[in-house]
Amino acid sequence: MDRQRNTQLEAVMAKYGFTHQSLAKEINRITAQIFGETHPRKCTDRHVRRWISGEVQWPWTRYLHALEQLFDRPAQALGFIPRGKHSANLPAPPRPPAPTKEAPVRRRRFITAPAAAAVALALNIDETPVSGRLSMTDVARARERIDRLDAHFSAIGGQPLLTVATAYLDRLSTAADHCTYGPRVEQALHTAIASLCSSAGWAADDAGNLDAAHLWRTTALQRAILGANHRAQARAWSDLAVHARRGGHHREALRISQTALTSREARQDPRYAALLQSRLAIGHARAGDRPAAARALLAAQTAHDRINPTEPAPRWLNFLTAAEISGLAAITHQAMGHLADAETVTAQALTLLDPGLRRSRAYYSVQLAELQLAQGNTAGARTTASAIDTTRVSSQSITGRLATVHRTLAAA
């Protein structure tokens, strides 16, 4: 069989910052976990070089299991070629050893609340090293955990995740202070911490702690600057605009949104442009500039139409669907006093919304009930409010607004 270089494995190694030696080390760690034993022949950088060169096109089963687990894709998607049709079906690995009693105790030093504990256990946040040498692989794992935390936020709200996010921030900050690493890892680590700070800001917002939300959002911007990551900076500026608006500082929110829109990301990435233009529209509406708000709304929709659905979005931007664009447009219409238009567009957002985005559904359902009340449609508001299910969403800001709706209805 002709030797063919494994460019797929080479590409995924480069993506996650693996060298030949660091990949071999990681494979040995994973095989020890899977097989629960110390194999006399360890994987070395020579094995990895032979895989990449194509000298070995189908490694030993134990190494293939480790590679599949590490990169979360089948061996053939990593460029390996089976020896025959039967070898392509890897035998199932042995069950991993049962967890020791120490692991849950060790994790409980971070989390005590039941909902938060379940998320923390699922994310394994205490497996991030806090001493020794930190690699791009370690940062990639941290990044993956932060992305999963963002997915939990969209599903259940941020209130139970605040403890998880702040605990993980403590751990990553400890890693930054006590581990050794090169400049590339340092920038990636600052960027990961910036993303986690942004997540913590939204979690604090949902918990009703606006002071903490502001702290985390300003810290996110600082870390994004240290990481020299313009996307993280654009995200932090956007979140600070939201915070200023909620504090009633509409001119400040407007200026921050305008600053964020000058970023390269806003010019080149339609997703960022759509989000920032939507928030700029709200800022103009709150500041009383209706023509500018209308122009920003049009720019947001135009940017959203330019999004290529085949290009993956950053995990934290997964919420930015056509439904979200409609929901943000409704907030702009409401701020301009166009309540009927705001109600129509909010209803449209709820129709378009993905079922898995339970927090967004609760948020915009409450918004719909508020708009109906504001127009004197008590019957419609009562029907909307009674159908809102917040049992699986933990957000003090949403439940507080819903409680206000119910009190208003009771007094009507």
pLDDT of residue 254: 87
- Please tell me the distance from the alpha carbon of residue 268 to that of residue 286, in angstroms, as a whole number: 27
pLDDT of residue 166: 85
pLDDT of residue 37: 60
- Please tell me the distance from the alpha carbon of residue 139 to that of residue 146, in angstroms, as a whole number: 10
Rg (CA), the chain: 24
Q: Read off the pLDDT of residues 140-163 as tens digits, 9 standing for 90 and up.
A: 988 888 888 777 676 666 666 778
Specify whether the CB–CB gap between 276 and 309 falls below 8 A.
no
Helix or strand or coil: residue 133?
Answer: strand
Q: Read off the pLDDT of residues 219-236 as tens digits, 9 standing for 90 and up.
A: 999 999 999 998 898 889
Residue type for 70, please? L
pLDDT of residue 274: 92
Helices marked H in 336-388 — which ranges? 339-352, 358-374, 378-386
Q: Is 151 exposed, middle or buried (0-12, 13-18, 19+ CB in 10 A)?
A: middle
pLDDT grade for 191, boundaries at 50, 70 and 90: very high
Q: Please give the residue that has the higher pLDDT: either 124 or 93.
A: 124
The closest of 156, 173, 165 to 361, measured between CA atoms, is 156
pLDDT at 379 over 80: yes
As a CATH number, domain 7-78 is: 1.10.260
Specify whether the CB–CB gap between 327 and 362 falls below 8 A.
no
Q: What is the dihedral of CA 314, 165, 128, 38, to 10 degrees?
A: -90
Retrieve residue 240's tokens.
């600070």
pLDDT of residue 31: 82
Q: Catalogue the E-assigned strands of 183-286.
A: none
Mean pLDDT of the chain: 83
Residue spans of the domains in the chain: they are 7-78, 112-228
pLDDT at 114 over 70: no
Helix or strand or coil: residue 180?
Answer: strand
- Please tell me the distance from the alpha carbon of residue 2 to that of residue 59, in angstroms, as a whole number: 16
